[in-house]
């Protein structure tokens, strides 16, 4: 595979962006959650919660990939797992803001700073395996079809595209959770985000010529099985991090938001609450 384009990118200012202090989300930032040390820890915890639920870090039956792209790489924890799993592969972590990325990266791994919504900076058919997960809080509804088309564009024929996304589905929901979900959806809508958008992923991919394998999951927030303690911690941390924004957008006292969040774990246990998760992967014809 010709990697001259990667050599050029490695020398670009975006690829050499400083990663010292973490930057909070700005007013024009689509991503709802903050960029902080706490967010780094939450994303790493989320990685292990997903492993306990899904049973693997890699759903697509990828074999001997030479080039792997992780889109919206966050801390880079999934990329590190992939580097250990496929020791022959060249791997790229791509994110709009690399401040969450834990460095240094392993050998054969490279970070590229680029905005997914502005198009991937790679030639057609560059990767054997393209992975993206949990970006529903960063991709506006109207941008999804174009994003998927671009992900497939950089996937080589015979290569694999894999997506893992949370949905807005909630099972065995109590009144407090329903209230918090309404508050969060109002915040997301301010940025053009619709948390039910991932449910359309299979149809969008079929329209692009992919025949995806689709699995629906229920991430538990109650009990101890299937990563439930980690999912509880993950969701609570993300909600507490945006509590001031929830109060502002919904014109509510911050104390009311915080008191409601504090009551959630007991309600989850009472109702056995679970949240929807969708996994989709397919081989490009």
pLDDT digits 0-9 by tens, 136-188: 999 999 999 999 999 999 999 999 999 999 999 999 999 999 999 999 999 99
Q: Is 24 a member of any domain?
A: no
pLDDT digits (tens, 9 = 90+) for 36-59: 788 999 999 999 999 999 999 999
When divided into structural domains, the chain yields a total of 1
Phi/psi of residue 195, each to 5°?
-70, -10
Three-state secondary-structure class, residue 53 = helix
262 in any annotated domain: yes
Q: Does residue 1 have a pLDDT over 80?
A: no
How many angstroms separate the CA atoms of 199 and 186, rounded? 19
Work out the pLDDT band at 259, boundaries 50, 70, 90. Answer: very high
Report the C-alpha gap between 148 and 57 in whole angstroms. Answer: 21
pLDDT in tens, 80-136: 999 999 999 999 999 999 999 999 999 999 999 999 999 999 999 999 999 999 999
Confidence at residue 37, expressed as pLDDT on a 0 to 100 scale: 85
Three-class DSSP category at 230: helix
> Average pLDDT in the 65-89 region?
97
- Is 149 inside any structural domain? yes
Residue 31: its pLDDT value, please?
Answer: 61
Strand partners, 113: 95
Range of the domain at 109: 4-10+33-55+62-283
Residue 13 gets the label, from left (phi > 0), alpha (psi -120 to 50) or beta, of: alpha
Residue 20 lies in a domain: no
pLDDT of residue 10: 47
- 29 pLDDT band, cuts 50/70/90, is low
CATH number of the domain within which 118 lies: 3.40.50.150
């Amino acid at each position: 595979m010709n990697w001259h384009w990667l050599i050029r990118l490695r020398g670009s200012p975006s690829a050499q962006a400083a990663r010292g202090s973490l930057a909070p989300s700005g007013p024009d930032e689509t991503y709802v959650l903050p960029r902080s040390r706490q967010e780094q820890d939450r994303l790493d915890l989320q990685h292990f919660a997903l492993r306990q639920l899904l049973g693997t870090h890699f759903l697509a039956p990828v074999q001997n990939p030479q080039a792997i792209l992780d889109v919206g790489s966050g801390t880079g924890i999934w990329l590190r797992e992939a580097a250990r799993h496929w020791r022959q592969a060249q791997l790229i972590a791509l994110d709009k803001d690399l401040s969450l990325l834990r460095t240094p990266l392993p050998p054969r791994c490279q970070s590229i700073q680029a905005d997914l919504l502005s198009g991937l900076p790679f030639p057609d058919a560059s990767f054997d395996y393209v992975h993206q997960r949990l970006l529903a809080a960063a991709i506006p509804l109207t941008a999804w079809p174009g994003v998927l088309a671009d992900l497939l564009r950089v996937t080589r024929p015979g290569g694999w595209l894999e997506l893992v996304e949370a949905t807005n589905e909630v099972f065995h929901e109590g009144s407090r959770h329903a209230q918090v979900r309404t508050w969060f959806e109002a915040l997301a809508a301010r940025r053009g985000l619709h948390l039910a958008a991932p449910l359309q992923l299979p149809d969008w991919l079929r329209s692009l010529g992919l025949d995806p394998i689709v699995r629906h999951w229920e991430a538990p927030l109650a009990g101890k099985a299937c990563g439930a303690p980690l999912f509880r911690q993950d969701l609570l941390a993300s909600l507490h991090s945006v509590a001031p924004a929830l109060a502002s957008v919904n014109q509510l006292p911050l104390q009311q938001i915080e008191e409601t969040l504090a009551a959630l774990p007991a309600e989850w246990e009472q109702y056995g609450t679970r949240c929807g998760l969708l996994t989709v992967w397919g081989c490009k014809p």
